[in-house]
């Protein structure tokens, strides 16, 4: 009962918060996150009243399975953006820009935090600075996708944005593995080539192979069913299966075999939408089914945010430096990359702003950083602080950027008045 009650409270809180924030015209993502914060352990949950919220982070962690499944479907949806015919037009642009924006963020955060280390060596060590700079590469695909969907954004910026967000994950894995390897080398004085080079390559390759195999498997099984309902059930089952397999990790000698759920499910969606003729219909059906799942994901993400990071001035100071330098790096890198690829002016101007949200992938890497021992705690807390700020304000900035680029249009009059129209029709039938 406890878990079911938590799920229902989380979903209700998220939905009611979107209504409360409707006059402010905030993105639903932001409303869900704030709802999560309010029912989390630092607000309503602190009252200790069963059923009113999450009393502890342990209670939130019981719902991590929902987050894993939601991320799988988010990645699956993004995979639909990698249609071969479209990639011939934008593929090169997406790859170049993704590399530029990711590396620019890393370099600028490296410079800024190494300067902090030199000024305050007792507050920030060199391994911590290097690790945080690597984490800066990560972008949150979930928040970006939700904003695009909510406002039905369409245009050259949106078309380029989603592939870049997807590619960002692969770039992030490589940059983090190399940087974190260097950080550990500085700390312990020994170089581990396998951790720095081999393991990240293995993770990327194995994830892509897993996704490709499952995409082919889904296409094969889809042909056995005529019913749209059964085909939708099959799609959901295969995404579940892919996400669960991606949780497996093991060692073969000195090599650590692991998977990225985001990359695997993204590849699943990519292969499926390119080789299945009816993939478009199934993707649309899956998107409708996953709406409450995504809402839960963001409410849970909000509840996971640790507000106690504000109590330490060092974390706040370093966190602000991290946020400012990462934001400048993302924006300038995207702008330079876009101009280099001769993209439209609105892409050069606004793309970088849409890449600011940061969440799950960054938190995952901060967990890995705990291998540094006590130094990992600071990395984790600064990442939590940055995620709190980025997740609350990032979706709003993404919406504003897409709107300024002319890719978000006013809601049609008939949609705004849809409920009143249907009520009037029902009244007339009586």
* Tokens matching residue 206: 């194995």
Residue 378 in domain:
yes
Q: What is the pLDDT of residue 196?
A: 67
Residue 429 in domain:
no
Q: What is the pLDDT of residue 309?
A: 67
> Which residues of the chain fall short of a pLDDT of 50?
none
Residue 9 in domain:
yes
Q: What is the b/e burial string over 364-391, where b = at least 16 CB atoms within 10 angstroms of the residue's CB?
A: bbbeebeebeebbebbbbbbbbbbbbbb
Residue 353 in domain:
yes
Q: What is the pLDDT of residue 312?
A: 74
Q: What is the pLDDT of residue 170?
A: 73
* DSSP letter (8 states) at residue 50: T
Residue 418 in domain:
no
Instruction: Give the chain's domain count.
Output: 1
Residue 428 in domain:
no
Residue 36 in domain:
yes
Identify the CATH number of the domain in which residue 49 sits. Answer: 1.20.1530.20
Q: What is the pLDDT of residue 230?
A: 87
Q: What is the pLDDT of residue 212?
A: 93
> Hunting for tokens 């295969």 — which residue is that?
238
Residue 392 in domain:
yes
Distance CA 132, CA 128 (A): 6
* Tokens matching residue 253: 């000698």
Q: What is the pLDDT of residue 414?
A: 58
**pTM for this predicted structure:** 0.76
Per the structure, the complete domain to which residue 45 belongs is given by 2-408
């Amino acid at each position: 009962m406890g878990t079911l009650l938590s799920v229902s409270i989380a979903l209700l809180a998220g939905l009611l918060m979107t209504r409360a924030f409707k006059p402010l015209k905030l993105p639903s993502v932001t409303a869900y996150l704030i709802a999560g914060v309010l029912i989390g352990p630092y607000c309503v949950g602190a009252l200790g009243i069963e059923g009113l919220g999450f009393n502890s982070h342990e209670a939130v962690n019981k719902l991590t399975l929902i987050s894993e499944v939601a991320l799988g479907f988010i990645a699956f949806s993004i995979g639909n953006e990698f249609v071969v015919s479209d990639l011939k037009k934008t593929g090169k642009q997406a790859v170049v820009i993704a590399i530029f924006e990711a590396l620019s963020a890393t370099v600028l955060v490296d410079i800024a935090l190494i300067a902090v280390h030199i000024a305050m060596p007792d507050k920030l060590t060199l391994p911590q600075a290097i690790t945080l700079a690597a984490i800066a590469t990560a972008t949150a695909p979930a928040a970006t996708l939700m904003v695009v969907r909510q406002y039905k954004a369409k245009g050259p910026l949106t078309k380029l944005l989603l592939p870049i967000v997807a590619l960002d994950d692969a770039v992030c894995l490589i940059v983090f593995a190399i940087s974190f390897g260097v950080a550990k080398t500085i700390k312990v004085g020994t170089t581990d080539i396998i951790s720095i080079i081999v393991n990240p390559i293995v993770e990327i390759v194995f994830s892509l192979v897993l996704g490709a195999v499952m995409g082919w498997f889904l296409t094969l099984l889809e042909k056995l069913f005529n019913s749209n309902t059964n085909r939708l059930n099959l799609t959901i089952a295969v995404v579940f299966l892919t996400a669960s397999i991606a949780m497996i990790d093991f060692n073969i000698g000195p090599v650590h075999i692991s998977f990225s759920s985001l990359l695997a499910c993204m590849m699943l969606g990519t292969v499926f939408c390119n080789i299945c003729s009816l993939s478009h219909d199934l993707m649309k059906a899956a998107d409708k089914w996953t709406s409450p799942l995504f809402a839960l994901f963001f409410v849970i993400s909000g509840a996971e945010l640790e507000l106690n990071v504000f109590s330490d001035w060092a974390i706040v100071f370093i966190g602000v430096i991290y946020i400012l330098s990462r934001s400048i790096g993302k924006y300038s890198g995207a702008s330079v990359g876009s101009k280099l690829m001769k993209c439209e002016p609105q892409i050069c101007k606004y793309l970088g702003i849409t890449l600011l949200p940061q969440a799950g992938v960054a938190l995952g890497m901060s967990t890995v950083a705990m291998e540094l021992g006590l130094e990992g705690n600071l990395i984790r807390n600064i990442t939590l602080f940055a995620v709190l700020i980025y997740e609350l304000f990032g979706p709003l900035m993404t919406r504003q950027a897409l709107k300024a680029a002319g890719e978000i249009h006013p809601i049609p009059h008939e949609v705004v008045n849809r409920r009143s129209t249907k009520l009037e029709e029902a009244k007339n039938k009586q």
